[in-house]
Homo-oligomer: A and B are copies of this chain.
Amino acid sequence: MDKTLILVVEDDLPVQNLITVTLKAEGYRYLTAQTGQAAVITAATHNPDIILLDLGLPDLDGVEVIRRVRSWSNVPIIVISARSEDPDKIDALDAGADDYLTKPFSVAELLARLRVTLRRLNTAAPDAAPSVFRNGALSIDYAAGCVSLDGEEIRLTPIEYKLLCLLSRNVGKVLTHKYITQNIWGDSLESSTASLRVFMATLRKKLTRSPDSPAYIQTHVGIGYRMVRVEENTE
């Protein structure tokens, strides 16, 4: 695969055109689909590297498209939504979308998201189920169940560890509050979104050695959190 193939799902033709022209200019290959049905079929038959999905489709709900694609594939999905469709955005992320863009968005922003996602794809382990995860100065040994920063081990409580694992196993992906709390506390407790904030604080503190340490965990206001890939320049 030398040229990245991107599936653009957008029913508004002027917008679709804007996107495809941009992609072409940047040297990407692309496919298009105007309906949810077509999107699912095209995704299955052509196996694109990334899917750009507008949530406001005429036939199928965008979330349903994600669900169907996710039933067999892990391909990165970047969702495009209008501000008014805010709740849909969260549903989309819960259904397995990786990232989101809010209309109106700049071309530069779109390209930036694509690059980030692609970098994640390429740096993703070429080997199966690696037992140790690395990101900047951070490394997690899943098998041993221990975490170290800059070679020095840091001790985490059970919930902190689970939380960090969840984030690291989904690097680059935006995880919603709901998704996180359900994964860590189960479906039972519901008020744990307050706890989540506290744990995020302690986790961030433990992941910060010096004031200029990189920020591993991003906050997405109203949505959730995400661990980002960090440059290797932490020397």
B157→A144 contact, CB < 8 A: no
Comparing A86-94, A119-127, A188-196, A203-211, the segment that makes contact with chain B is A119-127
Which of A72, A73, A82, A144: most chain B Cβ within 10 A?
A72
**CB proximity to B under 8 Å, residues A111-152:** 112-113, 115-116, 121, 124-129, 143-146
Q: How many residues of A contact B (CB 8 A)?
A: 54
Comparing A9-17, A31-39, A57-65, the segment that makes contact with chain B is A9-17
B222→A157 contact, CB < 8 A: yes
**For the complex, what is the distance from the CA of A46 to the CA of B96, rounded to whole Å?**
34
**CB proximity to B under 8 Å, residues A67-101:** 69-75, 82, 96, 99
A104→B70 contact, CB < 8 A: yes
**For the complex, what is the distance from the CA of A108 to the CA of B15, rounded to whole Å?**
31
Q: Does A106 sit at the interface, judged by CB under 8 A? A: yes
**For the complex, what is the distance from the CA of A44 to the CA of B104, rounded to whole Å?**
13
Residues in chain B near residue A113, CB distance under 8 A: 128-129
Q: Does A185 sit at the interface, judged by CB under 8 A? A: no
Nearest CB in chain B to that of A113: its residue: B128
A45-66: CB near B (< 8 Å → 1, else 0) gives: 1010000000000000000000
Query: Shortest CB–CB separation between residue A133 and chain B, in angstroms?
Result: 15
Q: Which residues of A contact B (CB under 8 A)?
A: 12, 14-15, 17-18, 21-22, 44-45, 47, 69-75, 82, 96, 99, 103-109, 112-113, 115-116, 121, 124-129, 143-146, 155, 157-158, 161, 172-174, 220-223, 226
Beyond A112-B125, A116-B128, A144-B172, 18 extra complex contacts between A and B, CB < 8 Å: A14-B72, A17-B44, A18-B47, A21-B47, A70-B104, A71-B82, A71-B103, A106-B124, A108-B121, A108-B126, A113-B128, A115-B128, A144-B173, A144-B226, A145-B174, A145-B220, A146-B172, A161-B223
